[in-house]
Structure 1
Amino acid sequence: MCKKLRYLTVVTLFVAVATGPIQASPYIRAAYWDGNYGTAWAGDGVAVRDALAAVGYEVLDAAALKAWMDDRIADRRLSVVVMCRDAVPDTVAEAQNASCTIRQYLDAGGKVVWYSDIPFYYVTASGGTNTTWGDNGSINVLGFGGSTAPRDVGDTVTITEDGQRWGLVTPWSSTRPTLPTAWPNLTILAANNAGNASGWVAHYVAGDTFRGFVRIEDHTGGPVDMQNLIAVAEYAESMNAATAPQPDSGASDVRRDVVLSWAAGDSAVTHDVYFGASFDDVNAASRSNPLGVLLSQNQTGTTFDLPDILDFETTYYWRIDEVNGAPDFTVFKGDVWSFTAEPFTYSVANITATSNVVFDEGAGPQNTINGSGLNASDQHSTTSTDMWLAKPTADEPVWIQYEFDGIYKLYQMLVWNYNVQFELLLGFGIKDATIEYSENGVDWTTLGQVELARATAMETYAANTTIDMQGVAARFVRLHVNSGWGTMPQYGLSEVRFLHIPIHAREPQPADGAVGLSPAVELSWRTGREAAVHEVYLSTSKSEVESGTALLDTITASSYAPTGVEFGSRYYWKIDEVNDAEAVSTWAGPVWTFVTQEFAIVEGFESYTDDIDAGEAIFDTWLDGWVNDTGSTVGYLETPFAERTIVQSGRQSMPLQYDNTTSPFYAETERTFETIQNWTVNGADTLRLFVAGRAPAFLETAAGTILMNAIGTDIWNNTDQLRYVYRTLSGNGSIVARIDYLDNSPDPWVKAGVMVRQNTEAGATNALIAMTGGDGGGATYQHRTTANGVSESWNTFTDGPFAPPYWIRVTREGNTLLGYTSPDGQNWTQRGEVVTIAMTDPVLIGLALTSHNANQATSAEFSNVSFTGNVGGSWQVAEIGVAQPAGNGIVPLYVAVEDASGGVAVVTHPDEMIVARSGWSEWAIPYSDLTGVDMSRVQTMYIGLGDRNAPSAGGSGLIYVDDIGYGKPFPGTEGTDITTTDDVVQGVPDDGDWPAAETPNLAIDNDPATKFLHFKGVTEPTGIRVTPSVGATVVTGLTLTTANDAPERDPVAFELYGSNDGIDGSYTLIATGDVPDFAGATAWPRFTRNATPIEFDNDVAYEHYQLLFTAVRDPGSANSMQIAEIELLAVTD
């Protein structure tokens, strides 16, 4: 039967958004949606996402949004992104300031459309955790308050004339307006009764009238009106003039060999380029009167390479006139833009000042290089604590020394002498001095003797001594005092400034510390001033780059595309600038670093559509049982055929249904690639995919873990909807369980807990202690004291919030029911009030689960389930109040790969329960497991359920697959992790200053979704002590994994100690060092282990270890230290 025929009976109505036809939109259009990140008032945003995708918007997840915005910042093309979820992802809101990516995108002429909650009120991280920025979010990112007018008024808005022009049709009820004067360039689209702006556009490009940050529908709940949304997103005005100049108009420090570029006007066919150092000439010039500044006429390209190198620190003006084609060839005069070329010299930053003599508190040598006392005009104050004043000893003359962060080619030294109010009387300023310099601080060379001019003792004092540094190469400069301007033996300075000629390579691209780069990376840099050629060094060994043994090439260009770059690796690189004609022929550059992505995606399931006539449906590429006669079905029976809610990234994943109850007793889908695939490039050695299963109705594993699913509106009020798994209890007793996992995607009020219940009627009396999906502080204790009566609960406990894994317990003593929680199963806290419920023996005691969503099931994993009292019978499964889903039958999951020569290898997932685990699981398959297949000539990939070689009858169900790729994981430090969940763990300091659900033991629970957080981690060293159950072991390495959010809390330095005197005994330092990956310029990805190995020498076996983190990434903004996973690595046989 043809696969297509099974859809002929399905009638699908597509309701188009009534915006009228969108003819060849001038925008590059995108919609942000990522189910792994949080949201707020906008809800899940799925309907908005799908409506935008249906009219051609590209759906971007958080990582893709960052890359897309970076591209638009670079190319300045006309673009728009609609935010389908109203918590901004931290991939583009890296910091709460105007330097974050999303603000840079706006400054570059981008357009962002936002609805529902206040812009930037929440920033969200991978895993769905929202951090509240509050009203300061929009103030700091957008530049003004996004909701500064009175709130919650609920007026129905009036659409303004501008709003009508932008296409708004349907009014809404406004609850979060802003003042119409909040931003100087604000277009008001809709206003409430008080005249405040409920819909508005903030423009960020001079003269712009249709781009910027667009805000509409400032209300909670309910879907946004799609006609309104698409209208404002698509609104554009004709742009006959050139836009998006590069360099930016008004830019400074522009390279002297700059190439001009711009975005063409809508109707432009050719371009005229005017350029010169006179604004008047550039502004007035024309084709008929070029005034010597018309450098190019009728050129077709949108870049221009200037014919000559620019003069230093000169302001230039330029203009692009856009010219239509036939028949009129109209010339549209452009704006005049300007920029200033780089200066001849730059000030040296990052200087350390020291002296060999004592000085008053607050008047140390650092005052001479920290700018204290200088105003905007570089005039120095007369305040003594803004200066340095030395008190010499009798043993040696006074000197002050300056150390730079590297070797510089020094041009001049500017000096502000000592400048207190009575300096002309005191004469504390230095008069005669000797200047020395050094590259290493050991070998010194005398530059010469100098006399420093006397200060004026006035608040208008400017530098009045300039010392010619003669272009020497130095890292250290020392000024020896020979005499002062007075007779008293005290000497001081106000300020010094060193000017250098930029001789090193600088401004690397990719930026230093960049992560997640393609192995096809291109290196580029801003060249040193005197360089004739550039030596390119690149290696995974920092020492090889530093020592100069990793030379790749010597080139004249300022960019280089290295070959052989591998996945999942940290690289170090530098550029040495070379000119044999100069006194110093080679200037070694700083060492920069970047990290490549682990995997390249070969199948993200994003390209498939619902157009089966065009062969673009997912099952047209991934063939299933309709073609291969196995028990598989790819895609759904109704559109959309691909899964669009349960996704690992992007907007789609592959739903794969299996039915192994009938012959051939296995289910398989296959994709044959049109071209043979080479999956061995760039060092690839691993195949990876992500799989999400569905929990069964009820399953108890051999290890005692219980998996179950459930659906239902709630366990609450007068009637319940849940799955209940129970035994019987007579008399007193209790049940204990640890909730290891709870899927909260259906609702934050999902509940998984332990319950004592009279019977399985929907309105039965009961007492329940449950973990929730986040609401109520993560836990609730509730009861119903009379049959079919109301329910009562206690939640939001002061020591919360809580999250799995967490322990819960219900006890029954007579008619008294009590609920407890515990972080460790040992220390219990009673929750809520003592409850008295009269129940008739036998009662039911067991596990309860509800999704709090009538349309979506949840799943949970319970472990360590135990009872006390007279508990009888085996587990019984009840569907209370509503029919419950069947869930997945347990069958093996396998992947097979076939090469172009017919060689096939099959690998079965090591977790036999994988299809029962909801949530996404990464499956990495080393090529060593795919023997007999040439991975450089891959032809077909199979994904199957069951045993294709020895089929036998099995279950049925549904799994999801996403993000199939190849690559190489980050290398781990050599050794085996000796920590286990059975180890004894203490916090350091062991004072309980951590959230109840983020305890020290979670740092070694082998689950990166949990974390340990210590609130003292900013002010003092914090960490853990652990007694590994394996016993005394030699540890020679560490791995660390970042937590779910807040990169500022990542540890960046550590100390490791060992002890054989007990966990509280004396400790010996083993190793200390940095965590370079976590400290890089770009925040290390969340839930990700360090890539740079942390290894050290150690030959002593210790029974106890103490790991302290001595610094966090950003102590200025962090409130704690946090870590998801710690591994102590030992080399074993």
Structure 2
Amino acid sequence: MTRRLTLMVAAVLVLGAVAPNICSAADPNLVGWWRLNDGSGDNAIDSSGNNLHGVLVDNPVWVTGVQGTALQFSGGNHVAVPGYEGILGTQSRTSAAWINVTKTSASIITWGPAGSGTKWIMRTHNGPASLRLECGRGNTYGTTDLADGEWHHVAVVLIDDGSPDVSELLLYVDGALDPIMDGGTPNQMDTSSGGEFRIAYDLNNTPRTYDGMIDDVRIYDRALSADEIQALMDDPGGTVTQALAPSPADGAIVESTWYNLSWTAGDLATSHLVYISDNLDDVSEGRVEPIPAAGTFAVIGFGKPFPEGLIPGTTYYWRVDGVNDAEADSPWKGSIWSFSVRPKTAWHPAPADGALFVDADTDLAWDPGVGAALHYVYFADNFQDVNSAEGSAFVLGTTYDPGPLETGKTYYWRVDSSDGLTTHRGKAWSFTATTPGGGLLGEYFNTMDPIGEPVLTRIDPIIDIDFGNASPEPNVVNADWFSVRWRGELQAAFSEVYTFYTRANDGSRLWIDEKLIVDKWAWVNTVVDTRGEPIELVAGKWYSIRMELFNEDGDSEAHLLWESASQPKAIIPSAAFSPPLRAGGPSPSNGATGVKMMPTLKWSPGIGAASHEVYFGTDADAVSSAVVTSPEHKSSPAIGSESYDPGKLTWHTTYYWRVDEVNAVSPDSPWTGRVWSFTTGDFLVVDNFEDYTDDDAANEAIWQSWIDGFGTAANGSQVGNLFPPYAEQTIVHGGRQSMPLSYDNTAGVANSQAELTLSYPRDWTEEGVSVLSLWFRGYPASVGSFTEGPVGTYTMTAAGSNIGGTADEFHFAYKTLTGPGSITARVDSIQNTHDQAKAGVMIRETLDPNSAHAFACITPVDGVGSRGRDTTGGGSFSTFQAGITAPHWVKLERDVAGNFTVSHSTNGSTWQPVELSAPTAIPMDATVYVGLALTSRNAAVTCEAKFSNVAITGNVGAQWTNQDIGILGNAAEPLYVAVTDGASASAVVAHDDASAATIDVWTEWVIDLTRFADQDVNLANIDKIAVGLGAQSGLVAPGGSGTLFIDDIRLLRPAEEPQP
């Protein structure tokens, strides 16, 4: 026996003698595991085996959890782990827990001190309560609202790539990746010591607490895979059945031709079966003979299945199935992992083999083979010269400068490696130097949506543009309030799965091959990379591409990047683009369902087209192969007429269409289009609100079809937003738009309605329809109130997320104040709906949410505060003095120079300033609002506060007025639908719930058409439909205002009776 083999066998015997881990925490990378199944007592036991036992602080309550028990937290109680400071530096990690949360901005798992990039704060976002991770001056948050009263499994994963930042974090909700809503500032993460690990508490935020339940908290010092995250969710008690923590790590490169594979066992496994092969499918399907393993290791490269050793340059796939004959579910199939053996030849070329779009001034690089000391490089512009070449000069390093390259030319190269004894011939690789030209068609609009006619059209070579705060084209395109649409075609360099990223300010959208893969059409305050849905592309094939950008105000920029296994993340080069030669941008969108039965088909033209050929039918193959003499050929519109009316279509049928671009003077014409499809609905569309745009010059704005109360004194309605986008694009039920309908039945107005004149469908009896369906959503009724009783004592209730940031949400009872003055009050009590609920006295310039103001307040936990905003829409300043609770006096003074001073008192006679506060100059108009303010700091919960000893000095108005500020709420005006037939006969149906306008979730309202027919309306000839709120409903209308959203108005056939 050789010495090498003897040592290896000895190592195996030692490993075999190691006692198995009797802890259920099978993964040695599980640093801390607080199952919270203790059920009683003052400790949270750590089940990881690392003795990181937690201490319950301020008596959180043991309750029933996801499995076993959990802890319920409120008001700042939490779990601390004395002496443990979490995972530090840039190390990969995973934090996970089950949560049932009732508020926004709730801390789940935290550690690390305050600073830029130095902490790990896993919490819910400020609103909605989605999953958020912040590191200090950097954060990222997801999409799913977690504050719904249900249990959710949440996890955050960090992969250490040397300089990780928050934009690279992965957020999981209920076992699935949660789409990132905002990436925040992409600060690098380097977690520091100095902040103790806590559950349900964050000391860095004055503090930030948690309301709700938490169960099964885990910390790993590695990045869990998606499968492992799913496994945590699927078995909340913590039983892990799969083998974990492979060595070598998944995707690793190993140097040796033998290896001691190892893993950690699942909780129930007593032995294992190891499947390994260089064929992925064979491992996946178990078509190789498994290696039995009594422990958690298997040596390969000696004996079966590789008696001659592992082969350099080969990738191996392996899986470990857990076995326990006493368990009915055994064996448990493991995940498939892989590793590669470093080859003896040069490998991993850069540029990658077959790469396109390579810069003409580039150096060649490669990874050395095992034992390589010298390299011989062969380079030419034809394959044969490189493949047959011999005797090159040697290169000591792993780079080579080929000199200047000719654009558009393909080059070949080969690297032979010598280990001093043998020269190992390398593979001949190729790449193509980037070609000139390319780019995308950029269309610039002076609107927030890229619709109508662009004011500027040009070819932009790449999307890597920083406009700053200037116009993209001065005196042509606005500096603010503009949008851009780039469109054309994209060629992939490799047949691989690609990930695209937009980096934009403000909103961006991206379509590849007519598929929407990035949808971040919203204002952003920081520029980050938004990761698109991965898409598989084929090398050399051209795909349609469209990117859109809007800028509201301030700086604007747009960047488009791609990434694949062979393509490092980078800006997409010009040569990968082509301006649009083929028709694109189909409407209805490709694959759309529920399309109306009388649609108008529209598209965007190719830049070389003089006319179009339109093909249409129900047979995809026939449309694909059709020519102008085929029956599928329908129309030949000229350029400028990019639309086709197919007439009335069939109920619930899929149609296919194609548009070829034609120009008789071009030898490349026609440019054959892609076959698109859509499916009509199993309903008649009255209005789905998808066809409206912001192009009021073309009569396409929503308020130009739905006629509101503008200019009509007796109608208090307003359709659409005041500024583009006119239709609602965030609060939608189906598609991408809904109709905002504002109503104001005050000041003598009793009714608000909007009315649509129908072109189709007017016959509400065709296709056997019998019911009208529409979806609506409102805002909840205000919970704000202000009453006096007994005399001199005031009770106020309020919701609201906060008074702070750039806009406020609170209830305000006020009078007017002109010139200097002051307000004093004793805050007798404030309900603890949040540690930072706030009650106090305020002077405010306007009643707008973003108004400048000064505020002296008391909180339930955080003491007395001096807060304010010194400019409209600016950020807020804040200073708190701890240790003070209600009852307590607060005073706010405004002097003639506009300086505001906050002070507080225990008795109303001896006053002192709030610590660290000072008189602050806040410019305001002479006449302002002065009064009492309350915010719940938890928008879902009503807070109550009591005030007494209220005194206001100065030139003050006589009457108190109170209202919500910044809180969207609806008055309970009755909702109705009215229809009018061609003979002007009308009928009205009111919603059964007189408070329907206050329902704040999408709700379907189904109306039997007989309710209109019974009022003598001719259903076969309906001329108009109206949606309204108020007296016309026939119900008592108390008067009030609000906003309702309407979507998906349809006519349906009767529901099928359930089969017995």
TM-score by length of 1: 0.29
TM-score by length of 2: 0.31
